[in-house]
Amino acid sequence: MSGLRVWVQGIGLLGPGLNSWPAALAVLRGAQAHSLAPTVLPAPARLPPAERRRAGAAVKLALAVADEAVAQAQIDPGTLATVFSSSSGEGTNCHALCETLATPAPMVSPTRFTNSVHNAASGCWHIAVASRASSTSLCAFDGSLGAGLLEAATSVQLSGEPVLLVASDSPYPEPLHAKRPLPDHFGLALLLAPAADAHSLAALTITLTGADAPAATCTDASLDALRRSIPAAAALPLLAALAQATPQRQVQLDYLAGVGLQVDVEPIARPVPEGAA
């Protein structure tokens, strides 16, 4: 099988010690050691004030990386289809609802309930950018990044239109944190297109593999710890390959116990903006 071929037009990244795609390039290239600083979530500037106040961490994270990828690709988000993939939704919401529901006469907050859906980030983004294009929201537990990449790449190929992929995870508060420990927020966005143009950063060729091939690791031990502990950070070997100036073949990514993903990454040479980091 030839694999799914798509072009990367824009990248968004936010995680511990990784404050944006340009800011993370040196670490991803191995030119600088990763330093583990807590993820700082910006206020979602695109949302109207009322929605901005209601936005929880998961929405802030998803919208921040989505914005970065769209800005880099210089594409109109108002017509853009999207795929949001996450191993869980808004953890603080889920905790607050479960706490309320454990009381004798629960008084559930309608806002919390509305934003408890797995597609809350998708809904907020499409409202913010006024897009009626298709959007889906996925979960495959620790394999959520791989699921999102497959859904986005097949959608690009079948529709012939660009798709914004957002893969992001946020931790739960206690006591759920003890049952599902995620150390911090991590999110990335890839704007994928069916053909190359002046904004293309790289071509990806994605194939499904059996489970035998072990996932590529990150040379930096601190980055590799992130890769192993946050589902969306399974993309780090792909991001590291995208940060290189030379083609990176057969980058193996974790997906499910029985299925892996392999990505060939061919960068398209373009200058990094001065002072971008």
Partner 1 sequence: MTPLGISSCTLTTALGAGCAATLSAMQAPRTGLAPVRFQGVPLTTWTGEVAGVDAVTLPDHLTDFDCRNNRLAWLALQQDGFLEAVAAARARWGAQRVGVFLGTSTSGLLQTELAYRRRGPDGTLPADFLYEPTQSTYSLAAFTTQALRLSGPSWVVSTACSSSAKVFGTAARMIAAGLIDAAVIGGVDSLCLTTLYGFASLELLSPEICRPFDAARSGLSIGEAAAFALIERDSNTPQGWLLGVGESNDGHHMSSPHPEGAGAIEAMRAALADAGLQAAEIDYINLHGTATPSNDAAEAKAVVQVFGTQTPCSSTKGATGHTLGAAGGVEAVMVLLAMRHGLMPAGLNVQQRDPDLALNYLVENRLAPMRYVASNSFGFGGSNACLVFGSEEA
Site for partner 1 in 60-89 (CB under 8 A): 85, 87-89
190 DSSP β-pair partners: 11, 165
Per CB under 8 A, does 119 bind partner 1? yes
The strands making up 81-85's β-sheet, listed across from edge to edge, are 81-85, 163-169, 186-193, 4-14, 202-209, 260-267, 248-253
Candidates 34, 46, 126, 185; binder of partner 1 (CB under 8 A) is 126
Per CB under 8 A, does 140 bind partner 1? yes
Candidates 23, 94, 203, 268; binder of partner 1 (CB under 8 A) is 94
Candidates 38, 42, 160, 175; binder of partner 1 (CB under 8 A) is 175
Candidates 192, 202, 255, 264; binder of partner 1 (CB under 8 A) is 255
Rounded distance, CA 204 to CA 193, Å? 10
**Are the C-beta atoms of residues 251 and 244 closer than 8 Å to each other?**
no
Closest by CA to 169, choosing from 252, 235, 263, 260, is 235
Per CB under 8 A, does 229 bind partner 1? no
- C-beta closer to partner 1: residue 71 or 108: 108
Closest by CA to 168, choosing from 33, 25, 276, 69, is 69
- C-beta closer to partner 1: residue 145 or 251: 145
Compute CA distances 97 → 56, 106, 109, whole Å: 14, 9, 8
Rounded distance, CA 184 to CA 100, Å? 25
Candidates 109, 160, 197, 247; binder of partner 1 (CB under 8 A) is 109
- Give the residues lining the site for partner 1 (CB under 8 A): 1, 4, 85, 87-89, 94, 97-102, 105-110, 113-120, 122-124, 126-127, 129-141, 143-144, 147, 150-151, 153-155, 157-158, 174-176, 178-180, 208, 210, 255-256, 258-259
